[in-house]
Chains A and B, each alone.
Chain A
């Protein structure tokens, strides 16, 4: 009787001893060794099963049940421990596989559009959303289209505004602005309404320096119709400025002069570089000029085939490089056509 009771205590000890030794198992090999020692054929709990026959009938079920519980407890503990050991050893392995994540990545070769082209297409895109369509006209132009039909006769004081490259063909020049395209577009589309955008390269006979180029892009807007007002011009350019520079940008239309528009205006925008506190970019004035514009001069409308008593319209000109210059703080406009890869790659 006493013998049989002892075996129950013995089984408690077996479980206790097994769990204690399991706690100190640290690796896969330890797990295997422990399994053999505590759950193998000659492990104490297994031997307890073989001793069942020697136990009294009354006690046998209790001992059997107990031995089974101990075995299950050890097996469950082993499983849990084995999982822990596995995770720990994986963690250890991963710890040895740390990359220097600061090493540069392997890069596919990246192509880019030229910064002037990027600025140009951004501007064109905005105006296209407003219903303007792109229209192109030649870069080598006649004096007649570039000046005379735009209300700029020879020796007119306004001619000072454009220093001109002349070609050896008399009356043929490099266009000084995209405005001759106004006449071309009007003559092509008259008497239909017009809403076009004229982008392209223009030329000035001017020594180049950090802020002047002999060649630069211009984008010109032209709208002709029966009820187009100065207010429409203001709304169109303000809409552009908000899309280009942000919803909250402050824009002003100030009177100006161009021979081919009347009334004429300059569009200025608060300096985004300094927040209008004054900086070298805005020459401490707080304002940046972004466009010249105005209502089409009656002479220009007439030269385009439209009766100025019936039709009205507006034109506006912007400089994409100048806008890029301001936006990216480029200190020298000559960068654009020098095509130094170290410049181009930054856009």
Chain B
């Protein structure tokens, strides 16, 4: 909410600087997001200003020497230009002639000396202003120039030039009481505080609301606007009646009347305030309703009384409030015909709907230039219904904003009275001496209790009951102290205080706010420590991610939202019926992100594809959930997964070794082996898989103790073709992270560091091409037994020398005993056992 400082000062004395004021409000939960200067000097640009910013302050400061109140005594035609006039102007020092093109002076052109001089904002040469002819706010310095042969060195200003609004149609014409010759900043310089009103502070969405908080915070008196109906006006009795159908929807409805209003603009002072508060002045009657809404927070609605009488067939109208009928329609004053929902509350008369209660008036009964007699509504509406209507009608108004957060019913009559007073002042007319007031559901204004113990227990501060009562009394709570407890009756302007334990928390917050959050000492919990819980999956997941980074892979994190088509790229073509089910959004932002992913592999391949042209080598991994709907269950299984994808060159190219081999199956397998090793997963088995995403010959599934941990391999050429990859091969993997974590060992035994030297030897074994390396190694290990401590395949050879259909696998072996150095004879025995066993099991011959 925009809060002009001058307006705030009407209700409370402020002896704080702008910076202090912003800080006091912010520290009470009324965050001042920024301060817009409209004339006043910037405290950060003054001598001795603090180095540190506490709040953002910007805007235009008016030089008191160069921008002053002046008066135009005569408006004369320009000799050479129809669109310009010459003003005979008095700036308090001298009389001079000023040139302007302001259309709102043309009506005075050539009518001789003015009986009522026009008070204006006058800028002298050298004044800093916003350029009225440029879009936005461009600072400019007023320089001497010649316009159409006439010297021009000063000007009368528009609101835009002074930073008040975007208005540049005409110049500002001030109220008659403006003192000629005085600095403009003294007369009307201001600063607008942008205050963020929290949802539980809707009571403060007004000038008096903020002033009340400020009064409480600075211990000053609040000057509420005085509201009195004239005792001698006509009576409203018999002029109108009210029927409230459902008090839950409409707790209170108040009507007042003004007779004989004239439609004219409000005083400039009021217009300026409306503008600074972000509203557009319209005419005195409408401005008065808006002004009072901003002033005390009660939205008001003015009807043309004569229209209502006409609709009632010449009789006194009856105002009826009720929920809309399904399919009911109303044309609102913005000219839109609206189809209404049953939760929308209407203000009607016997002839039908008049307005959307608390949201927007209807077209037919609105104030027109011909309106003379005004019926003024001040009511209280159910905030839930107002919210729903705001959102279903896509309307946002100042009134709807306040009603959708709750307005206290006590404000209804206050608002009507104050508004009638302002209307009569600005538009003339006679105020009726009484109101019609239906109040079927009085506000509860509950009493809540808080004790000194509660304050200690919740806030950590020691206060006496009297101190607590004093703090709450500053906010107008009526407090009663009983022993260590304070019973606080909610003041009749707020609806955010509950009862029982909730009321206690509500009061605790108010005590803390007024006491000052800054004064609450920072402590550390003295509370008993909870028992330690071991969350092994979280620990192992962290280890997985660290291990993969150490193995040279870059972690990525993708959107969890995707489209089924993106994931379908991985699958073989399949019938529609067997498509997987997804957690699907009812309100997606785009079709690209409409379901929760089921495949982490698909996500990481998308990322790999996106980066494929950026690097010669890419190796990525991601850890995260996939979302698998479960039949008969609202929430899906959020299964943790690990995906990896690699493509391009094996090594990082260097300037003297520019190219390296392409990453393939065995690179990824090496990463997986490294991962399993760092997790101490033992006994992993690799077997071929028929997963359709992968090349059937170049892919494997990893199994540990019968449980499948994951699949990996080269992408199936048909799958790869659906992506934009340059490299000849892409290898990828998807693991079930939960299974991987289960397979990891939290405890493992290590082998003692050997004391006696090993015997090293190389054995080349010739086997059939179809024999698997894993089987050869297993046979070697069987033959070697415990004394065989190392087996490493270091070469594979195929060639004429060993015959077609054969391959030679060369192994570096080490034999070692833990208690003595092996003799050549013992080593030979081991070798012989190995050779026998490999011949037996895999038909291997020693290559000589």
Contact = CB atoms under 8 A, between A and B. Distances in A.
Given A107-B654, A298-B505, A286 B555 contact: no
B224 to A, nearest CB: 24
Given A138-B635, A138-B638, A231 B460 contact: yes
Contact of B527 (A116, A226, A340): A226
B614 A111 contact: no
A341 B618 contact: yes
A36 interface: no
B550 A111 contact: yes
Interface in B563-616: 583-589, 593, 596, 607, 610-611, 614-615
B139 interface: no
Contacts of A107: 652, 654
A109 B619 contact: yes
A93 interface: no
A232 interface: yes
Interface stretch (B27-35, B116-124, B130-138, B783-791): B27-35
Interface in B527-547: 527-533, 535, 538, 542, 545-546
B512 interface: yes
Looking at A138, A271, A302, the one whose CB has the most chain B CB atoms below 10 A away is A138
Interface in B498-552: 501-502, 504-506, 508-509, 512-513, 517-518, 520-533, 535, 538, 542, 545-546, 548-552
Contacts of B487: none
Interface string A257-288: 10100111110001100011110001111110
Contacts of B557: 114, 116-117, 336-337, 339
A115 B828 CA distance: 56
Contact of B561 (A193, A214, A341): A214
Contacts of A287: 53-54
B556 interface: yes
A238 B56 contact: no
Interface stretch (A70-78, A79-87, A156-164): A156-164
B95 to A, nearest CB: 43
A98 B486 CA distance: 85
B27 A121 contact: no
Interface string A94-113: 00000000011011111111
Interface stretch (B298-306, B321-329, B383-391, B681-689): B383-391
B206 to A, nearest CB: 17
A140 interface: yes
Interface stretch (B184-192, B196-204, B258-266, B701-709): B196-204
A337 B339 CA distance: 42
A68 interface: no
A35 interface: no
B452 interface: no
B476 to A, nearest CB: 18
Contact of B611 (A192, A227, A341): A341
A252 interface: yes
A214 B201 CA distance: 28
Contact of A136 (B53, B538, B552, B654): B538
Nearest to B388: A155
B509 A133 contact: no
Nearest to A314: B525
B410 interface: no
Contact of B31 (A155, A231, A254, A341): A254
B558 interface: yes
A205 interface: yes
Contacts of B531: 192
Contacts of A210: none
A177 interface: no
Contacts of A1: none
A194 B635 contact: no
A20 B383 CA distance: 113
Interface in A13-71: none
Candidate in A259, A263, A270 with the most chain B CB atoms within 10 angstroms = A263
Contacts of B561: 203, 214-215
A140 B627 contact: yes
Nearest to A160: B199
Contacts of B553: 111
Contacts of A201: 560
Interface string A112-139: 1110110001000000000101111011
B52 A277 contact: yes
Contacts of A305: none
B625 interface: yes
Nearest to B55: A285
A157 B52 contact: no
B794 interface: no
B559 interface: yes
Contacts of B29: 254-257
B641 to A, nearest CB: 14
A284 B58 contact: yes
A259 B517 CA distance: 19
B527 A193 contact: yes
A161 B610 CA distance: 34
Given A112-B549, A227-B527, A232-B523, A278 B53 contact: yes
A198 to B, nearest CB: 12
Contacts of B502: 297-299
Nearest to A195: B530
A229 B459 contact: yes
B830 interface: no
Nearest to A229: B460
A234 interface: yes
Given A165-B585, A189-B530, A341 B554 contact: yes
Nearest to B557: A114
Contacts of A228: 525, 527
B239 to A, nearest CB: 36
A116 B74 CA distance: 69
Contact of A140 (B583, B651, B656): B583
5 contacts: A109-B651, A140-B596, A166-B586, A223-B525, A235-B524
Given A112-B554, A169-B634, A286-B56, 16 more contacts: A104-B655, A113-B545, A131-B530, A140-B636, A157-B404, A157-B406, A165-B588, A167-B583, A214-B561, A225-B525, A234-B523, A235-B523, A252-B518, A255-B29, A255-B513, A263-B505
